[in-house]
Homo-oligomer: A and B are copies of this chain.
Protein backbone atom coordinates (compact mmCIF):
# COMPACT_ATOMS: atom_id res chain seq x y z
CA UNK A 1 0.00 0.00 0.00
CA UNK A 2 1.55 3.29 -1.06
CA UNK A 3 1.48 6.35 1.19
CA UNK A 4 -1.08 7.94 -1.14
CA UNK A 5 -3.33 4.87 -0.88
CA UNK A 6 -2.92 4.87 2.88
CA UNK A 7 -4.00 8.49 3.13
CA UNK A 8 -7.00 7.81 0.90
CA UNK A 9 -7.92 4.82 3.09
CA UNK A 10 -7.57 6.89 6.26
CA UNK A 11 -9.88 9.55 4.81
CA UNK A 12 -12.40 6.78 4.12
CA UNK A 13 -12.12 5.24 7.58
CA UNK A 14 -11.84 8.52 9.50
CA UNK A 15 -14.59 10.46 7.71
CA UNK A 16 -14.16 13.59 9.80
CA UNK A 17 -10.49 13.92 8.87
CA UNK A 18 -9.92 16.80 6.45
CA UNK A 19 -10.12 19.93 8.54
CA UNK A 20 -7.59 20.84 11.20
CA UNK A 21 -9.90 19.40 13.84
CA UNK A 22 -12.93 17.13 13.86
CA UNK A 23 -16.27 18.80 14.52
CA UNK A 24 -18.62 17.09 16.98
CA UNK A 25 -21.55 19.29 17.81
CA UNK A 26 -20.08 22.52 19.14
CA UNK A 27 -16.80 20.81 19.93
CA UNK A 28 -13.59 20.69 17.95
CA UNK A 29 -11.26 17.78 18.61
CA UNK A 30 -7.71 17.44 17.38
CA UNK A 31 -4.71 15.24 18.12
CA UNK A 32 -1.04 15.61 17.31
CA UNK A 33 1.87 13.45 18.32
CA UNK A 34 5.54 14.32 18.64
CA UNK A 35 7.93 11.35 18.43
CA UNK A 36 11.60 11.26 19.41
CA UNK A 37 14.06 10.96 16.50
CA UNK A 38 11.22 11.76 14.08
CA UNK A 39 9.81 15.10 15.21
CA UNK A 40 12.57 16.07 17.61
CA UNK A 41 15.88 14.90 19.07
CA UNK A 42 16.94 14.86 22.70
CA UNK A 43 19.29 17.76 21.93
CA UNK A 44 16.18 19.93 22.38
CA UNK A 45 15.17 20.66 25.99
CA UNK A 46 12.18 18.55 27.08
CA UNK A 47 10.55 21.73 28.34
CA UNK A 48 10.31 23.05 24.78
CA UNK A 49 9.13 19.75 23.32
CA UNK A 50 6.35 19.66 25.91
CA UNK A 51 5.23 23.20 25.05
CA UNK A 52 5.36 22.51 21.33
CA UNK A 53 3.19 19.40 21.72
CA UNK A 54 0.45 21.67 23.07
CA UNK A 55 1.08 24.53 20.61
CA UNK A 56 0.62 22.40 17.50
CA UNK A 57 -2.77 21.33 18.81
CA UNK A 58 -3.72 24.89 19.85
CA UNK A 59 -2.93 25.89 16.28
CA UNK A 60 -5.38 23.32 14.88
CA UNK A 61 -8.15 24.74 17.06
CA UNK A 62 -7.07 28.30 16.12
CA UNK A 63 -7.34 27.44 12.42
CA UNK A 64 -11.03 26.66 12.94
CA UNK A 65 -11.73 29.72 15.05
CA UNK A 66 -12.22 27.71 18.23
CA UNK A 67 -11.54 28.33 21.88
CA UNK A 68 -9.25 25.61 23.33
CA UNK A 69 -10.71 24.06 26.49
CA UNK A 70 -9.46 20.61 27.53
CA UNK A 71 -6.34 18.59 26.85
CA UNK A 72 -5.80 14.87 27.29
CA UNK A 73 -2.13 13.95 27.34
CA UNK A 74 -0.45 10.61 26.64
CA UNK A 75 3.26 10.44 27.36
CA UNK A 76 5.68 7.62 26.64
CA UNK A 77 9.01 8.08 28.38
CA UNK A 78 11.99 5.87 29.23
CA UNK A 79 12.32 7.51 32.66
CA UNK A 80 10.19 9.19 35.32
CA UNK A 81 12.28 12.34 35.40
CA UNK A 82 11.55 13.06 31.74
CA UNK A 83 7.86 12.37 32.22
CA UNK A 84 7.75 14.67 35.25
CA UNK A 85 9.46 17.51 33.35
CA UNK A 86 6.98 17.18 30.49
CA UNK A 87 4.00 17.10 32.81
CA UNK A 88 5.17 20.15 34.78
CA UNK A 89 5.74 22.14 31.62
CA UNK A 90 2.48 21.05 30.01
CA UNK A 91 0.63 22.12 33.14
CA UNK A 92 2.21 25.61 32.89
CA UNK A 93 1.59 25.94 29.15
CA UNK A 94 -2.01 24.73 29.54
CA UNK A 95 -2.67 27.28 32.27
CA UNK A 96 -1.24 30.09 30.14
CA UNK A 97 -3.71 29.15 27.42
CA UNK A 98 -6.76 28.68 29.67
CA UNK A 99 -6.71 24.97 28.90
CA UNK A 100 -7.50 22.38 31.53
CA UNK A 101 -5.59 19.10 31.44
CA UNK A 102 -8.49 16.73 31.91
CA UNK A 103 -6.59 13.48 32.05
CA UNK A 104 -4.03 11.33 30.38
CA UNK A 105 -1.90 8.25 30.42
CA UNK A 106 1.77 7.72 31.13
CA UNK A 107 3.69 4.73 29.88
CA UNK A 108 7.24 3.55 29.79
CA UNK A 109 8.66 3.64 26.27
CA UNK A 110 12.15 3.20 24.83
CA UNK A 111 11.66 6.43 22.92
CA UNK A 112 9.89 9.52 24.09
CA UNK A 113 6.55 10.51 22.61
CA UNK A 114 3.86 13.00 23.52
CA UNK A 115 0.34 12.69 22.17
CA UNK A 116 -2.01 15.56 22.95
CA UNK A 117 -5.73 15.47 22.27
CA UNK A 118 -7.17 18.96 22.49
CA UNK A 119 -10.86 19.77 22.74
CA UNK A 120 -12.08 23.22 21.82
CA UNK A 121 -15.37 24.95 21.34
CA UNK A 122 -16.68 26.82 18.32
CA UNK A 123 -20.31 27.62 17.62
CA UNK A 124 -19.40 28.45 14.01
CA UNK A 125 -16.12 26.77 13.01
CA UNK A 126 -14.13 28.08 10.04
CA UNK A 127 -13.59 25.30 7.51
CA UNK A 128 -10.98 24.77 4.85
CA UNK A 129 -13.72 24.47 2.29
CA UNK A 130 -15.26 27.95 2.31
CA UNK A 131 -12.90 29.88 -0.03
CA UNK A 132 -14.75 31.53 -2.95
CA UNK A 133 -13.58 33.09 -6.21
CA UNK A 134 -12.41 36.64 -5.66
CA UNK A 135 -11.59 36.15 -1.96
CA UNK A 136 -8.24 37.52 -0.91
CA UNK A 137 -5.66 35.04 0.41
CA UNK A 138 -4.11 36.09 3.73
CA UNK A 139 -1.19 35.18 5.94
CA UNK A 140 -1.36 36.13 9.59
CA UNK A 141 2.38 36.83 9.93
CA UNK A 142 5.75 36.51 8.18
CA UNK A 143 6.87 32.94 7.45
CA UNK A 144 10.06 31.02 6.73
CA UNK A 145 11.60 31.48 10.16
CA UNK A 146 10.87 27.96 11.41
CA UNK A 147 12.56 26.18 8.48
CA UNK A 148 15.51 28.59 8.74
CA UNK A 149 15.75 27.95 12.48
CA UNK A 150 15.65 24.17 12.00
CA UNK A 151 18.44 24.37 9.41
CA UNK A 152 20.56 26.56 11.69
CA UNK A 153 19.97 24.23 14.64
CA UNK A 154 20.97 21.17 12.63
CA UNK A 155 24.17 22.78 11.37
CA UNK A 156 25.06 24.47 14.65
CA UNK A 157 25.72 27.71 12.78
CA UNK A 158 27.14 30.60 14.80
CA UNK A 159 26.76 34.24 13.75
CA UNK A 160 29.61 36.41 12.45
CA UNK A 161 28.42 39.56 14.18
CA UNK A 162 25.81 40.75 16.64
CA UNK A 163 23.01 41.30 14.10
CA UNK A 164 23.56 37.89 12.52
CA UNK A 165 23.65 36.16 15.92
CA UNK A 166 20.43 37.96 16.80
CA UNK A 167 18.79 36.67 13.62
CA UNK A 168 20.02 33.11 14.23
CA UNK A 169 18.64 33.12 17.76
CA UNK A 170 15.25 34.45 16.71
CA UNK A 171 14.96 31.90 13.88
CA UNK A 172 15.84 29.05 16.24
CA UNK A 173 13.30 30.36 18.71
CA UNK A 174 10.65 30.50 15.99
CA UNK A 175 11.29 26.81 15.34
CA UNK A 176 11.58 25.68 18.96
CA UNK A 177 8.94 27.91 20.53
CA UNK A 178 6.25 28.46 17.91
CA UNK A 179 3.13 30.39 18.80
CA UNK A 180 -0.41 29.43 17.87
CA UNK A 181 -2.72 32.18 16.63
CA UNK A 182 -5.61 31.37 18.95
CA UNK A 183 -6.85 34.92 19.53
CA UNK A 184 -6.73 35.77 15.84
CA UNK A 185 -8.54 32.54 14.93
CA UNK A 186 -11.47 33.42 17.18
CA UNK A 187 -11.65 36.94 15.70
CA UNK A 188 -11.75 35.50 12.18
CA UNK A 189 -14.94 33.51 12.80
CA UNK A 190 -17.30 35.85 10.97
CA UNK A 191 -14.57 37.38 8.77
CA UNK A 192 -12.69 34.51 7.10
CA UNK A 193 -14.37 32.29 4.51
CA UNK A 194 -11.78 29.53 5.04
CA UNK A 195 -8.70 28.91 7.16
CA UNK A 196 -5.84 26.44 7.71
CA UNK A 197 -2.67 26.66 9.75
CA UNK A 198 0.73 26.58 8.05
CA UNK A 199 2.02 23.34 9.51
CA UNK A 200 3.14 21.54 6.35
CA UNK A 201 4.35 24.66 4.49
CA UNK A 202 2.65 27.53 2.63
CA UNK A 203 2.59 25.71 -0.73
CA UNK A 204 1.19 22.45 0.67
CA UNK A 205 -1.33 24.04 3.02
CA UNK A 206 -2.58 26.43 0.34
CA UNK A 207 -3.13 23.39 -1.89
CA UNK A 208 -5.03 21.69 0.95
CA UNK A 209 -7.24 24.76 1.32
CA UNK A 210 -7.83 25.14 -2.43
CA UNK A 211 -8.56 21.42 -2.86
CA UNK A 212 -11.09 21.47 -0.01
CA UNK A 213 -12.73 24.60 -1.44
CA UNK A 214 -12.54 23.33 -5.05
CA UNK A 215 -10.88 26.56 -6.17
CA UNK A 216 -7.40 27.77 -7.18
CA UNK A 217 -5.24 30.73 -6.19
CA UNK A 218 -3.06 33.39 -7.78
CA UNK A 219 -0.28 34.39 -5.40
CA UNK A 220 1.85 37.53 -5.63
CA UNK A 221 5.23 36.26 -4.41
CA UNK A 222 6.46 39.75 -3.58
CA UNK A 223 3.66 40.19 -1.07
CA UNK A 224 4.43 37.09 0.98
CA UNK A 225 5.98 38.43 4.19
CA UNK A 226 9.31 36.74 4.98
CA UNK A 227 10.50 36.20 8.54
CA UNK A 228 12.41 39.24 9.84
CA UNK A 229 15.89 39.61 8.29
CA UNK A 230 15.62 36.22 6.55
CA UNK A 231 16.17 37.75 3.07
CA UNK A 232 19.17 39.66 4.44
CA UNK A 233 20.99 36.94 6.40
CA UNK A 234 19.56 33.78 4.85
CA UNK A 235 21.72 33.58 1.70
CA UNK A 236 25.07 34.01 3.46
CA UNK A 237 24.03 31.47 6.11
CA UNK A 238 23.33 28.90 3.39
CA UNK A 239 19.55 29.07 3.66
CA UNK A 240 17.42 28.93 0.51
CA UNK A 241 15.09 31.79 1.40
CA UNK A 242 12.51 31.02 -1.28
CA UNK A 243 12.24 27.38 -0.13
CA UNK A 244 12.04 28.35 3.55
CA UNK A 245 9.21 30.81 2.88
CA UNK A 246 7.19 28.87 0.32
CA UNK A 247 7.71 25.32 1.53
CA UNK A 248 8.93 25.47 5.14
CA UNK A 249 6.61 23.83 7.67
CA UNK A 250 5.85 24.19 11.37
CA UNK A 251 5.09 27.90 11.07
CA UNK A 252 1.67 27.84 12.73
CA UNK A 253 0.77 31.12 11.07
CA UNK A 254 -2.81 31.14 9.83
CA UNK A 255 -3.50 31.02 6.09
CA UNK A 256 -7.03 32.19 5.40
CA UNK A 257 -9.34 33.79 2.87
CA UNK A 258 -11.75 36.68 3.12
CA UNK A 259 -13.64 39.04 0.84
CA UNK A 260 -12.39 41.98 2.92
CA UNK A 261 -9.42 44.06 1.79
CA UNK A 262 -6.21 44.13 3.81
CA UNK A 263 -6.63 47.50 5.56
CA UNK A 264 -10.22 46.72 6.57
CA UNK A 265 -9.37 43.24 7.79
CA UNK A 266 -6.35 44.45 9.78
CA UNK A 267 -8.54 47.08 11.42
CA UNK A 268 -11.21 44.50 12.27
CA UNK A 269 -8.76 42.16 13.98
CA UNK A 270 -6.65 44.97 15.45
CA UNK A 271 -3.30 43.87 14.01
CA UNK A 272 -1.54 43.58 10.69
CA UNK A 273 -2.39 40.65 8.39
CA UNK A 274 -0.96 40.16 4.92
CA UNK A 275 -2.93 39.83 1.66
CA UNK A 276 -0.83 37.68 -0.64
CA UNK A 277 -3.16 36.81 -3.51
CA UNK A 278 -6.63 35.96 -4.77
CA UNK A 279 -8.81 32.89 -5.01
CA UNK A 280 -9.66 31.82 -8.57
CA UNK A 281 -12.38 29.61 -9.97
CA UNK A 282 -9.77 27.75 -12.01
CA UNK A 283 -8.04 25.10 -9.90
CA UNK A 284 -4.28 25.10 -9.25
CA UNK A 285 -1.99 27.50 -7.45
CA UNK A 286 0.15 29.98 -9.42
CA UNK A 287 2.77 32.36 -8.07
CA UNK A 288 4.00 35.27 -10.21
CA UNK A 289 2.55 33.48 -13.23
CA UNK A 290 4.20 30.10 -12.54
CA UNK A 291 2.73 26.93 -11.10
CA UNK A 292 3.40 26.51 -7.35
CA UNK A 293 3.70 22.83 -6.54
CA UNK A 294 2.99 21.62 -3.00
CA UNK A 295 6.52 20.85 -1.86
CA UNK A 296 6.15 21.09 1.90
CA UNK A 297 6.02 18.21 4.31
CA UNK A 298 2.81 16.26 3.94
CA UNK A 299 1.84 14.44 7.09
CA UNK A 300 -0.02 11.16 6.84
CA UNK A 301 -3.01 12.98 8.27
Contact = CB atoms under 8 A, between A and B. Distances in A.
Contact of A13 (B10, B74, B101): B101
A233 interface: no
Given A9-B84, A80-B1, A84-B9, A38 B72 contact: no
Interface in A89-148: 91, 100-111, 113, 115, 117, 119
Interface in A29-52: 29-35, 37-39
A161 interface: no
A85 to B, nearest CB: 10
Given A70-B24, A106-B301, A76 B35 contact: yes
Interface string A59-74: 0000000000010111
A90 to B, nearest CB: 8
Contacts of A119: 24, 29
Interface stretch (A15-23, A188-196, A201-209, A251-259): A15-23
B33 A88 contact: no
A29 B72 contact: yes
A74 B117 CA distance: 9
Nearest to A34: B107
A29 B74 CA distance: 13
A42 to B, nearest CB: 13
Contacts of A35: 76, 107-109
Contacts of A31: 72-74, 103-105, 117
Count of this chain's copies in the oligomeric assembly: 2
A83 B30 CA distance: 19
A104 B301 contact: yes
Q: Which of A17, A29, A31, A84 has the most CB of B within 10 A?
A: A31
A107 B70 contact: no
A80 B21 contact: no
A80 B14 contact: no
Contacts of A76: 33, 35, 38, 113
A74 B115 contact: yes
Nearest to A69: B24
A299 interface: yes
Contacts of A21: 103
Given A103-B14, A106-B299, A87 B37 contact: no
B38 A107 contact: yes
22 contacts: A3-B80, A6-B80, A6-B84, A9-B87, A9-B88, A10-B106, A13-B88, A14-B73, A17-B103, A22-B103, A29-B103, A31-B73, A31-B105, A32-B105, A33-B74, A33-B76, A33-B107, A37-B110, A38-B76, A105-B301, A107-B299, A110-B110
A84 B74 CA distance: 21
Contacts of A115: 33, 74, 105, 115
B16 A109 contact: no
B107 A39 contact: yes
